[in-house]
């Protein structure tokens, strides 16, 4: 019988009870708190904030707990909450040159003004499972040594150093730079300008953006990138309240930023210059911003008169498929009953087979 689908309300309520029980797991194990998630699963929180487009560690941690660690589900929870929030003010653009840097590296130069700052990174950890973390007594109170000299305040971007020599394309604000495109309020539109593309990539699924960025490296749209600079740290957010008329600092957020320096372009009129790819994201999301910068550059093909041949260069393909809330929803909707349409297809295929057999019999008779 088809009772499973006809089960209706009682089935839904029971399912809710069952996920609550499953989420809690073995009750002899202490329950994880959102504080623990926020503090000890910080990179998961960062990803959820970035793709959820909402900077709130506590809510992201709650979403991760509620979603039982399913980050795509947690991102969805945060997005759905975000849409109910009032829009109180629009901040000024953040100045990442004034970032309180925790990590900053450039692959393009041996040394850079302000210095290379390795900071917290898994890059040079050997990927050996650390069984000490599984020890019953825990890891205690690990403490990293403090540097001998404090970091310089205000570190210029490597791209600006190149810009000073005219070696990289200048960054010219768009005419409508005061009012950037906002995907949370307007539907996607094409051709898409860079503001729309960057917002889409910043909210886009890390795995999707990573795979696209990787594809450009393997030759599906070569961009010949150098990691000009990757930095991560705190930037302050400023707003200008209408009644005050001047900017006030309303708090700090951690962001990751990547400037890629890409193959140069030149023509009879223009001397050759390196081109830019850019990535920015909430939290510590280095893999994401690097991939984002690769895809940003690939999507600028039209700007440089390059033929858009590969997936990462195709803005409709990239922008329409980057959002994991949309993608997960549409893939999962196949779980909904489709039996009315399936019935229509059953009717047709039976009819077509009947006609096929009739034709065969007729041919055999002749």
Partner 1 sequence: MSALEEVRWDAAYNFAYLDEQTKRMIRRALLKAIAVPGYQVPFGGREMPLAYGWGTGGIQVTASVIGPDDTLKVIDQGADDTTNAVSIRRFFSRVAGVDTTEATEEADIIQTRHRIPEAPLREGQVLVYQVPQPEPLRQLEPRETETRKMHGYAEYGLMHVRLYEDIARYGHIATTYSYPVMVNGRYLMSPSPIPKFDNPKMQDNPAIQLFGAGREKRIYAIPPYASVKSLDFDDHPFEVQTWDEACALCGAQNSYLDEVVLDDRGGKMFVCSDTHFCADRRAEGHRGELGGDPAALAFARTAEEEGADR
**Sites of contact with partner 1 (CB under 8 A):** 1-3, 5-12, 76, 79-80, 82-84, 86, 184-191, 316, 320, 325-326, 328-333, 336-341, 343-348, 351-352, 355
Closest CB to partner 1 among residues 22, 83 = 83
Q: Which residues lie below 8 Å from residue 58, measured CB to CB, with a gap of 6+?
A: 34, 38
Between CA 296 and CA 314 the distance in angstroms is: 11
CB of 78 to partner 1, least distance (A): 10
CB of 341 to partner 1, least distance (A): 4
CB of 319 to partner 1, least distance (A): 10
Between CA 250 and CA 229 the distance in angstroms is: 27
Closest CB to partner 1 among residues 36, 361 = 361
Q: Which residues lie below 8 Å from residue 266, measured CB to CB, with a gap of 6+?
A: 272, 273
Closest CB to partner 1 among residues 153, 355 = 355
CB of 322 to partner 1, least distance (A): 13
Closest CB to partner 1 among residues 146, 340 = 340
CA quadruple 63, 67, 73, 76: dihedral sign: negative
Q: C-alpha angle with apex 191: 185 to 195, nearest 5 degrees? A: 50
Closest CB to partner 1 among residues 33, 351 = 351
Q: What Å distances lie between residue 56 and 38, 41, 136, CA to CA?
A: 10, 14, 31
CB of 224 to partner 1, least distance (A): 28
Between CA 237 and CA 253 the distance in angstroms is: 7
Place of tokens 């858009």: 308
CB of 335 to partner 1, least distance (A): 9
Distance of CA 243 to the CA centre of its chain: 35
Closest CB to partner 1 among residues 77, 293 = 77
């Amino acid at each position: 019988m088809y009772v499973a689908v006809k089960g209706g309300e009682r089935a839904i309520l029971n399912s809710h009870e069952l996920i609550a029980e499953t989420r809690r797991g073995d009750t002899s194990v202490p329950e994880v708190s959102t504080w623990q998630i926020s503090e000890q699963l910080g990179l998961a929180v960062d990803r959820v904030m970035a793709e959820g487009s909402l900077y709130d560690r506590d809510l992201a941690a709650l979403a991760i707990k509620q979603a039982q660690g399913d980050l795509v589900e947690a991102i969805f929870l945060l997005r759905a909450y975000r849409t109910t929030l009032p829009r109180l003010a629009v901040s000024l653009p953040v100045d990442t040159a004034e970032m309180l840097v925790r990590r900053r590296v450039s692959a393009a130069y041996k040394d850079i003004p302000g210095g290379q700052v390795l900071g917290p990174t898994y890059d040079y950890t050997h990927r050996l499972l650390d069984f000490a973390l599984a020890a019953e007594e825990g890891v205690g109170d690990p403490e990293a040594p403090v540097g001998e000299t404090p970091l310089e305040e205000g570190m210029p971007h490597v791209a600006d150093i190149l810009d000073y020599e005219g070696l990289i394309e200048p960054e010219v604000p768009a005419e409508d730079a005061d009012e950037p495109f906002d995907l949370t309020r307007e539907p996607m539109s094409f051709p898409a300008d860079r503001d729309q593309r960057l917002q889409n990539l910043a909210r886009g699924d890390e795995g999707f953006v990573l795979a696209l960025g990787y594809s450009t490296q393997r030759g599906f749209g070569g961009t010949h990138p150098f990691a000009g600079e990757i930095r991560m740290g705190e930037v302050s957010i400023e707003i200008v309240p209408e009644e005050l008329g001047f900017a006030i600092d309303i708090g700090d957020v951690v962001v990751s930023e990547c400037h890629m320096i890409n193959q140069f372009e030149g023509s009879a009129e223009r001397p050759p210059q390196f081109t830019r790819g850019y990535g920015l994201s909430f939290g510590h999301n280095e893999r994401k911003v690097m991939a984002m910068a690769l895809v940003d550059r690939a999507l600028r093909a039209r700007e440089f008169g390059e033929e858009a041949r590969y997936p990462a260069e195709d803005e409709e393909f990239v922008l329409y498929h980057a959002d994991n809330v949309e993608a997960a929803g549409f893939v999962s909707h196949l779980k909904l009953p489709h039996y009315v349409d399936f019935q229509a297809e059953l009717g047709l295929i039976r009819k077509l087979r009947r006609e096929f057999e009739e034709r065969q019999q007729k041919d055999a008779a002749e």
